[in-house]
Structure 1
């Protein structure tokens, strides 16, 4: 890294000289995988509206897509756990990315050469695939981060790593917003595949630079860190297919993180359905218009996220701690759902969606990821992936089927919004509880070295 660039980075974030290269490559890796996803997200959202529109606006049809997503994750999670157990990190990370690149090529060929009359079915499969893809690639990324950064480093640097993702998400949204009409949504699948390949290159570069992190460990770090991160890309994590599931159900700490995920996804899915319902009415039979609307929405979310990450995220965590960062989003939900209930409509629901997603990406997500930094390597990949994929989609199921149930019971838009207020309050109290567990563990004495080089000793913060 050049001297000028290093000085610039150190002015923005509290980073040590030997951490800079790893920090930059982490941000670049996140940039490419999120830009790839955000090229696809507006296309997926338009497909969701098209499915509802094709079935005369029935929300149940969209709910079935969420159910299919959960089934898909149930099938894929054991395969992922097997991959993690059998291959070193430097092999399974790029392998997983290239698997999704191959899938994109297949979808492109299907859209190009299959009878357009069957495109609704291809779109339904694509909706499910994108909903699985985004969870897995992001979960693998953050597992990688918690594997190579120590807990102390995660609190200092994860906010800036997330900035790379926000820039990528902004770029992806901008690409789709500007090119959806001249190129067409189908050709954007190839753009996303190219971005994923660049992300694969960045992950390999990150492997080459991450060893410098160990050189930043000084005497102070050794006294304050419960277990320094000394993972090696050649080390096998080992274990069985269901280790992550067993860990989650055996640990109140991990169950608490599962609860945070459930509350977030239930409320997010509710907003998603209400938004899709309204957009299908306002933009009837206008596929390009809907795609551009969702792309512009994502662009606003990502710009707002980026600004927050640059100027607020680090300060919030440093001044107020992980607990406030975790509690911010449910507190916003209490206020937001109250206002949405009073003034329902497209502007209100999209405004709440934008604010919630920005707060999640900029504030809660980095804080939630830091909760995993104190765990052993197996839990960082397997338990975390189970929470990030299966538990996430279970929350989707609850939200996806609750929405049509509320409609069936005769609840209007206001009543539906008000029903999310008690959930947000319970979420707020859970965030404060999990923070107390995290702080208790971080104050624990340092663990003795593990029995094998590169393996952190398991210390349960439960």
Structure 2
């Protein structure tokens, strides 16, 4: 097993705890995701920029609260508390869906789930960056990310089998249970960190959303990562909006649309799981961080070229499966490796700003840009216009990878200089 996964004996327990933590968290989310996507189309593909703007505004309101809590509480207590709070949120939606039929509830749920998804995943990777070193991250983030992909398969399977038997609303109770199990696994990971004398977890972190923005602006390294993420959100939003328009035309029935989303997620997550278990670690180690960061932009370039030629559901499905599976299996772990070379303050303040406020801000701006372009041009033309953005995104990935390699070289050089006097003595 060690030869297959390249995990040492002392790394197995924390790796499995992190794997299970991610598995249950993503299972919980993917039970709810098909419901969100369908609600988005019910609101109207032409109005989705309003949903993205609402998500961005909500994120701006929540991030300062998170910064305030990080200043006051130890991370080993605060982070499990955040997951418990989200469990309570799901129970509130269960009550609302069971008792009310207001048209506002789908809108609120769409925005809430979009915030929930980014927030809990950002916290997950920040915490892992605290636990694992840069070298460990290159070897372990693939198998750990596979936990999320496994959950992303398990969740839709539960939805497919039980939605017709117990109803969509009752699925929220299963989602709560799975998120509770994720919280338990998180606590096991915290115990491991305490055993390894990770005392930094005990200290609250000073900062705020503005501190995160300040840290990003002051650091050329973080600015480059921020640009990379901003361009990624732009490309992803364009693809998401094209999906909404193509699917709303191709399928008139709500059940058919939900079925398509479920089938798409199954293909994406199955492909991602295979790649994360057997390919990610090898590519990260052998091909290097730069290749991993520019791979998905290249796929996006050819994907939009294909959509510019044909707007068929088959072409859309192929592009989405390639784009999302490579994003989850190669790009996301690579992006998270970049944060192993920054300080604890930057991991939680700057990274949280980039992963939440900057990410959703990019979503909102890209949504309005797409809406403006769609009033002037066809979807095919918009696809061609997205190609230069994919090229710039790839250049940003190239520069981010070069800065990471430079950071690694400089840190290794400092460690050698620090150790040299000891060897001389």
Q: Where does residue 436 of structure 1 map in the other structure?
A: 402
- Residue 59 (structure 2) pairs with residue 73 (structure 1): yes
- Residue 224 (structure 2) pairs with residue 256 (structure 1): yes
Identify the match of residue 173 of structure 2 among 162, 168, 190.
190
Please report the RMSD computed on the Cα atoms of aligned residues, expressed in angstroms: 1.6
Identify the match of residue 45 of structure 1 among 34, 37, 45.
37
1:254 and 1:166 map into 2 onto residues whose CA distance is 27
Identify the match of residue 167 of structure 1 among 147, 150, 166.
150
Identify the match of residue 289 of structure 1 among 256, 259, 266.
256
- Residue 214 (structure 2) pairs with residue 246 (structure 1): yes
Q: Where does residue 224 of structure 1 map in the other structure?
A: none
How far 1:212 sits from its partner (Å)?
5.5
1:98-122 deviations in Å (ceiling 9; x for gaps): 11111111111111111x2x2x210
Q: Where does residue 62 of structure 1 map in the other structure?
A: 48
Structure 1 stretch 341-350 or stretch 128-137: which is displaced more? Answer: 341-350
How far 1:262 sits from its partner (Å)?
1.2
* Residue pairs, 1:356-395, within 5 angstroms: 356-395=323-362
2:401 and 2:32 map into 1 onto residues whose CA distance is 34
How far 1:183 sits from its partner (Å)?
2.5
Q: Where does residue 341 of structure 1 map in the other structure?
A: 308
Q: Where does residue 423 of structure 2 map in the other structure?
A: none
1:78 and 1:257 map into 2 onto residues whose CA distance is 21
Q: Where does residue 419 of structure 2 map in the other structure?
A: none
Q: Where does residue 33 of structure 1 map in the other structure?
A: 25
More helix by share: 2
How far 1:209 sits from its partner (Å)?
1.8
How far 1:270 sits from its partner (Å)?
1.1
Structure 1 stretch 102-111 or stretch 205-214: which is displaced more? Answer: 205-214
How far 1:242 sits from its partner (Å)?
2.9
* Residue pairs, 1:201-350, within 5 angstroms: 201-211=184-194, 230-240=198-208, 242-284=210-252, 286-350=253-317
Is the 1:148–1:210 contact (alpha carbons within 8 Å) kept by the matching residues of 2? Answer: yes
How far 1:333 sits from its partner (Å)?
1.0
SS in structure 1 of the partner of residue 258 of structure 2: helix
Is the 1:180–1:288 contact (alpha carbons within 8 Å) kept by the matching residues of 2? Answer: no
SS in structure 2 of the partner of residue 264 of structure 1: helix
Give the alignment's TM-score, normalised by structure 2: 0.94
Give the alignment's TM-score, normalised by structure 1: 0.87
Structure 1, gaps ≥5 residues long: 1-7, 215-229, 449-462
Provide closer, same or farther for how the CA distance between residues 201 and 443 of structure 1 changes in structure 2, counting only shifts above 3 A. same
SS in structure 1 of the partner of residue 202 of structure 2: coil
How far 1:332 sits from its partner (Å)?
0.7
Is the 2:60–2:357 contact (alpha carbons within 8 Å) kept by the matching residues of 1? Answer: yes
Q: Where does residue 383 of structure 2 map in the other structure?
A: 417
Structure 1 stretch 138-147 or stretch 295-304: which is displaced more? Answer: 295-304
How far 1:84 sits from its partner (Å)?
1.5
- Residue 98 (structure 2) pairs with residue 112 (structure 1): yes
Q: Where does residue 5 of structure 2 map in the other structure?
A: 13
1:73 and 1:414 map into 2 onto residues whose CA distance is 32
Number of residue pairs the alignment of both structures matches: 414
Runs of 4+ in 1 over 6 A off after TM superposition: none
How far 1:275 sits from its partner (Å)?
1.1
Q: Where does residue 87 of structure 2 map in the other structure?
A: 101
1:104 and 1:362 map into 2 onto residues whose CA distance is 28
Is the 1:329–1:356 contact (alpha carbons within 8 Å) kept by the matching residues of 2? Answer: yes
SS in structure 2 of the partner of residue 236 of structure 1: coil
Q: Where does residue 227 of structure 1 map in the other structure?
A: none
How far 1:181 sits from its partner (Å)?
2.5
